[in-house]
């Protein structure tokens, strides 16, 4: 049965459809189109699995589909891939009312959203996320971007989709590593402000790893509800509330950039980054050691790394210096007072940062 979560943004509000076999529902796409023509952007991994099914569903409703397939992977979330999308759109004479459809994981969603925000100064787009991480996080909220060699997601725009269609049936085709990566973002929602959800995850993490359909549908829905609530309150990250969604990301983006894009999956880096944030919080005397242990144990049970690469404090500071939350030259961090109580601060003593990092790069 399909469930719907609404992202309330006045005249830019949109639905998130959640359920199985939604890729066969061409009407969920067609109902949002002002022109019976779309450009469907996907990658070399997803295209062989889902492109034909969606194209047939749309063709049955007389919607013409222009497929654009780019190489898969975080290493292709760049200007070169973006320009190849622009080339295809121009070559096929796509117009301002031609909607772009992002079919794939977070890389495709972010890149397609940025293409939609900038092609002809803005065209409509729809997100069809096929990974757990994209369904619970990157497809919702309107953050679009590509990477720069010096920093992740440094070039982009806020640009909301017309709709998000999360077919949870696609999660059955994911590699186990991708499922675990998505769980990092799911766990984040419990940590930043939803203690009952964190407790539920603690009791159901094995079911999620095993891809129990009921458990996954619940996790996707609650995660989307949490994100929709935060986005509605602080769409452009101007009030500090939306920044809390970046728990683990300041350290995580540093890990991704430092290792090279694609070496670790985004969710893996976020998990290790969240462990660093928890240990720094503990080093500052805020987070109880029992909570730190509980957080680490849950990430481990989800199949995620809890030991970070040992770049050294100075290299981490260098990489984090390009974080988008930097203000007035000071790095701002998302830390924890307790599970469910996250906050944004630039007041982190270097001694606590060094202690938290040192504890996070060892197996002890």
227 flagged as catalytic: yes
Residue of 37, 152, 188, 227 marked catalytic: 227
| CATH number reported for the structural domain that contains residue 326 in this entry | 1.20.1090.10
Report the distance separating Cα 197 and Cα 154, nearest Å. 31
242 flagged as catalytic: yes
Q: How many CB atoms lie within 10 A of CB 172?
A: 11
Residues 166 and 258 in one domain: no
Residue 138: DSSP 8-state = I
Residues 167 and 206 in one domain: no
Residues 209 and 151 in one domain: no
268 flagged as catalytic: no
**CB contact at 8 A, 16 and 5:** yes
Q: How many CB atoms lie within 10 A of CB 80?
A: 11
| CATH number reported for the structural domain that contains residue 158 in this entry | 3.40.50.1970
| pLDDT reported for residue 364 | 47
Residue of 77, 188, 218, 249 marked catalytic: 249
Residue of 74, 178, 235, 237 marked catalytic: 237
Report the distance separating Cα 292 and Cα 283, nearest Å. 11
Residues 153 and 246 in one domain: no
Report the distance separating Cα 82 and Cα 92, nearest Å. 16
What contacts 325, CB < 8 A, 6 or more positions away? 243, 246, 250, 331, 332, 333, 344
Residue 179, pLDDT above cutoff 80? yes
246 flagged as catalytic: yes
Residues 196 and 139 in one domain: no
pLDDT in tens, 189-245: 999 999 999 999 999 999 999 999 999 999 999 999 999 999 999 999 999 999 999
Residue of 266, 279, 324, 332 marked catalytic: 266
pLDDT in tens, 336-345: 999 999 999 9
Number of domains in the chain: 2
Full domain range(s) for residue 127: 3-173
**pLDDT, average across residues 97-106:** 98
Residues 161 and 272 in one domain: no
Residues 207 and 59 in one domain: no
143 flagged as catalytic: yes
Question: Average model confidence (pLDDT) for the chain?
Answer: 97
Write down which residue in 173, 200, 223 finishes a domain.
173
pLDDT in tens, 250-275: 999 999 999 999 999 999 999 999 99
Residues 337 and 240 in one domain: yes
Residue 327, pLDDT above cutoff 90? no
């Amino acid at each position: 049965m399909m469930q719907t979560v609404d992202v309330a943004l006045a005249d830019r509000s949109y639905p998130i459809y959640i359920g199985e076999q939604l890729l066969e529902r061409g009407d969920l796409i067609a109902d949002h189109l002002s022109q019976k023509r779309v450009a469907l952007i996907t990658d070399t991994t997803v295209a062989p699995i889902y492109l034909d099914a969606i194209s047939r569903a749309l063709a049955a409703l007389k919607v013409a589909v222009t497929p654009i397939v780019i190489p898969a992977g975080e290493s292709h979330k760049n200007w070169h891939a973006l320009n190849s999308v622009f080339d295809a759109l121009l070559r096929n004479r796509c117009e301002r009312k031609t909607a772009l459809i992002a079919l794939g994981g977070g890389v495709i969603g972010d890149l397609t959203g940025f293409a939609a925000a900038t092609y002809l100064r803005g065209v409509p787009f729809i997100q069809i996320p096929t990974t757990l991480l994209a369904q619970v996080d990157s497809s919702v909220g309107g953050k679009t971007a590509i990477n720069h060699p010096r920093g992740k997601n440094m070039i982009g725009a806020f640009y909301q989709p017309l709709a998000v269609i999360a077919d949870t049936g696609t999660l059955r085709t994911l590699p186990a590593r991708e499922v675990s990566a998505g769980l990092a973002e799911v766990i984040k929602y419990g940590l930043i402000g939803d203690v009952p959800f964190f407790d539920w995850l603690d009791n159901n993490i094995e079911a999620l790893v095993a891809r129990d359909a009921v458990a996954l549908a619940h996790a996707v829905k609650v995660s989307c509800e949490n994100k929709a609530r935060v986005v509605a309150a602080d769409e452009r990250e101007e009030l500090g509330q939306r920044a809390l969604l970046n728990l683990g990301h300041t350290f995580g983006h540093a890990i991704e950039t430092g290792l090279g894009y694609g070496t670790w999956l985004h969710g893996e880096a976020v998990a290790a980054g969240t462990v660093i944030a928890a240990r720094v919080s503990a080093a500052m005397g805020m987070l109880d050691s029992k909570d730190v242990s509980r957080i680490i144990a849950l990430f481990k049970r989800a199949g995620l790394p809890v030991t970070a690469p040992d770049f050294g404090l100075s290299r981490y500071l260098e990489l984090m210096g390009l974080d988008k939350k930097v203000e007035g030259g000071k790095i701002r961090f998302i830390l924890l007072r307790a599970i469910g109580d996250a906050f944004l601060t630039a007041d982190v003593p270097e001694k606590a940062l060094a202690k938290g990092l040192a504890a996070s790069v060892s197996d002890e």
